[in-house]
Amino acid sequence: MAPNAIDYIAIQNTIARYCIALDTKNFELLRRVFTEDVDTVYPFGGQRKGVQPIIDAISKRLTPVTHQHALTTQQIEVAADGKTAEATTYFTGIHFGKGKWNGKEVTAWGKYDDELTLIEGGSSLPGASGHWLISRREVSFFGRLGEEGVMDGE
């Protein structure tokens, strides 16, 4: 099965859904972003395997703040067989403090290096070959600026 142009948009939607899940704190939406056995490496918690440990870690990390994640530069390469893809996506995440940290923020600039797998049958985007899910993610920071204490909450 060769990739089609709609698959690239479907992959973009999967990666964007991650940011929407975080910013709306709808962490169960991450089940439509990651495979059940996803492997991840985050700078704030090391390596984790499985979608539920990711949901638990991100929920705990983001509970003390409000935030907005934005995606910028992106490159996607779908394999010739159309069943896997690699994507590098740059992001900016701004985290706003609450309580004693009100008025303070910390901003992170980094990238997501993702491997995605095509799950055939059904798609959230008409015309796509199926549903694309992230099977491996490595997050790295280019830099952080601001008051790191906002991430700890009250």
Tens of pLDDT, residue by residue over 8-35, are: 999 999 999 999 999 999 999 999 999 9
Instruction: Give the predicted TM-score (pTM) of the model.
Output: 0.94
**Chain centre to alpha carbon of residue 66:** 16
Phi, psi of 123 (to 5 degrees): -155, 150
Q: Do residues 111 and 89 lie in contact, with contact meaning Cβ atoms separated by under 8 Å?
A: yes
HSE of 117, CA atoms in CB hemisphere, 13 A: 12
CATH assignment of the domain containing 54? 3.10.450.50
Residues 6 or more apart whose Cβ sits within 8 Å of residue 154: 64, 98, 99, 100
Average confidence (pLDDT) over 36-63: 93
Q: Is 22 left (phi over 0), alpha (psi -120 to 50) or beta?
A: alpha
Interatomic CA distance for residues 78 and 66, integer angstroms: 34
Residue 94 has pLDDT above 70, yes or no: yes
Interatomic CA distance for residues 130 and 122, integer angstroms: 5
Instruction: Report how many domains make up the chain.
Output: 1
pLDDT, tens only, 125-141 = 888 989 999 999 999 99
Q: 123 lies in which domain range?
A: 5-152
DSSP string, the chain: ----HHHHHHHHHHHHHHHHHHHHT-GGGGGGTEEEEEEEEETTTEEEESHHHHHHHHHHHHTT-EEEEEEEEEEEEE-TTSSEEEEEEEEEEEEE--GGGTT-EEEEEEEEEEEEEEEES--SSTTSSEEEEEEEEEEEEEEEEE-GGGGG--
* pLDDT score at 4: 87
